[in-house]
Each structure stands twice: as structure tokens, then as C-alpha cells.
Amino acid sequence: MIKAETAKASLGAALPIMAGYMVLGIPCGILASQTGLNALQVLMMSLLFYSGAGQYMIANMWLAGIPPLSIVASVSLVNTRQMLYGASLSRFSGVGKKRLSFLFAATVTDESFGINLDRFEKGDWSLVNATLVNLFSQTSWTLANVIGVVAGAVLSIPAAVASFAMTAIFICLLFSQKATMANVVAGIAAAVGVVVCKLVGLSGPAIFIGAVFGIIMAFALSEVQKRQ
């Protein structure tokens, strides 16, 4: 049984994500309706795939006439970054608790990763708290998507404005990190990695390759600092 105070704390942590997902999710649903998807299909996507970037990519690529196999390959490559989140959060997933760990791991997103990691590191944050943050966020995303697909004919939100909500969340999470020299190097190297990848046409795996490059550079610096 989940305590009311646990649910309240998780809801408080999830609220900014939920607000962002409402703003992002409705245009995503509108876009999905333009590809011919119905409310049931969008519901399935939001519940079992649950990826803002992925769902936007599928709709945009489909509308651009890209074949299904290429869509699947590109979306899967972009989603490889989730492996980094899982690796980072594994130390907080607790002993035993396999079902809860599975539910937690299966519902991590870019935004909930940042919020939960911050709370875990501060202490006083349980796997139940973190899983509730994920589920509250997913509920908001699913609701917004279904609203978008149902009301697609009436509602109109510029996609560029809506997608900037996601960028604003990432900027906030980036600038909430500790400003150590190694973290700064991680960020700059990751940024350079993404730019280089996109310039040579590797847009699909750009996030993953850039992030891994950033981690390697920061780790190398921390090794040098440790030896001095």
C-alpha cells in the first residue's frame, strides 16, 4: 500500500514534468492524427512505447515519406541513450523488488531520469517515489496524446513552439548539475560530439555517441586529476 505522503511527494516532483508533457503531448497527438493513427493506436504508443522524441520522430518521418524500416532503425538508435540512464539509476533500484524495478526501469524518460536522480542523490527518495514520478508523468503524456489525437481537427499549436518545451526542460536539467571541471568537460565534449555526428550525417545515433564521448573525456580528466 502506498502512503499518501509518498504519493504527494512524488506528485510534487512530477508536476513540472506533467505540465511540460501536456504542452508537448497535445501537438504530438495532433501530429499522430495527421499520419492516420487513431486514438487506440496513440494510446498503445503512449503506454507501451512512451517516448516523446520517438513518437515525434515516427510521425515526422512518416509524413516525410520515409519507409517503415528506416523509421524503426532511426528511432531505435535515438533511444539507445536510455541505456545510459538505466546504468546510472541501477544503483538506486534496490535489493530484490524485481517487479517494481522492472516497472521503474520501463517507464524512465529523459525528464524523469533527471528529477529522480537528483532526488536519489539528495537521499530520502525511494524506488516507490521514483516509480510514482514515472507513472504520473506517463499518465500526463498519455492523456495529452489522446486529447491531441481526438481534438486534432480543432486544436492547433505550432510544433516548433511545443517542442521547445522539451529543450527548456533539458537546459534546466543541464544547468542544475554541479559545475565541476569534469562535468563542464562532459557537457562540452558531448555537445561537440553531437555537432560532429550531425555534420557527417549521423543524426540518428548523435545523442548516444555525443554523450558517450562526453563521458569518456570527463572520465579521462578525472583520472588525470586523481593522479595529481
Partner 1 sequence: MSWSQFLFIFAVCALTMLVCRVIPVFALKERELPESVSRGLGFIPPAAFAALVVNDLFDPEAIASGIDLYTFIPYIASLVVVIVAVKTKSLLWCIIVGLAVYAVLLLAVPAVV
Q: Which of residues 51-70 bind partner 1 (CB under 8 A)?
A: 51, 54, 58, 62, 68
The cell numbers describing 12, all together, are: 510534487
2-10, 14-22, 136-144, 145-153 -> range binding partner 1 (CB under 8 A):
14-22
The number of CA neighbours under 13 Å toward the Cβ of 199 is 7
Contact 208, 85 (CB under 8 A): no
Q: How far apart are CA 31 and CA 33, in angstroms?
A: 5
Helix then strand then coil, in percent of the chain rounded to 5, is 80, 0, 20
Contact 210, 191 (CB under 8 A): yes
Which CB sits closer to partner 1, 134 or 147?
A: 134
What does each C-alpha distance from 205 to 50, 191, 202 come to in angstroms? 19, 13, 6
Residue 130 binds partner 1 (CB under 8 A): no
Q: How far is the CB of 170 from partner 1 (least distance, A)?
A: 4
Q: How far is the CB of 29 from partner 1 (least distance, A)?
A: 14
Contact 97, 127 (CB under 8 A): yes
Q: Considering only residues 80, 139, 159, 202, which one is a binding residue for partner 1 as defined by CB under 8 A?
A: 80
Give the x-and-dash track for 81-120 against partner 1 (CB under 8 A). Answer: xxxxxxxxxxx-x-x-----xx-xxxxx-xx-xxx-x---
Residue 30 binds partner 1 (CB under 8 A): no
Q: Considering only residues 26, 75, 146, 149, which one is a binding residue for partner 1 as defined by CB under 8 A?
A: 75
CB atoms within 10 A of CB 103: 14
Q: Considering only residues 2, 11, 72, 181, which one is a binding residue for partner 1 as defined by CB under 8 A?
A: 72
**Interface with partner 1 in residues 146-175 (CB under 8 A):** 158, 160-161, 163-175
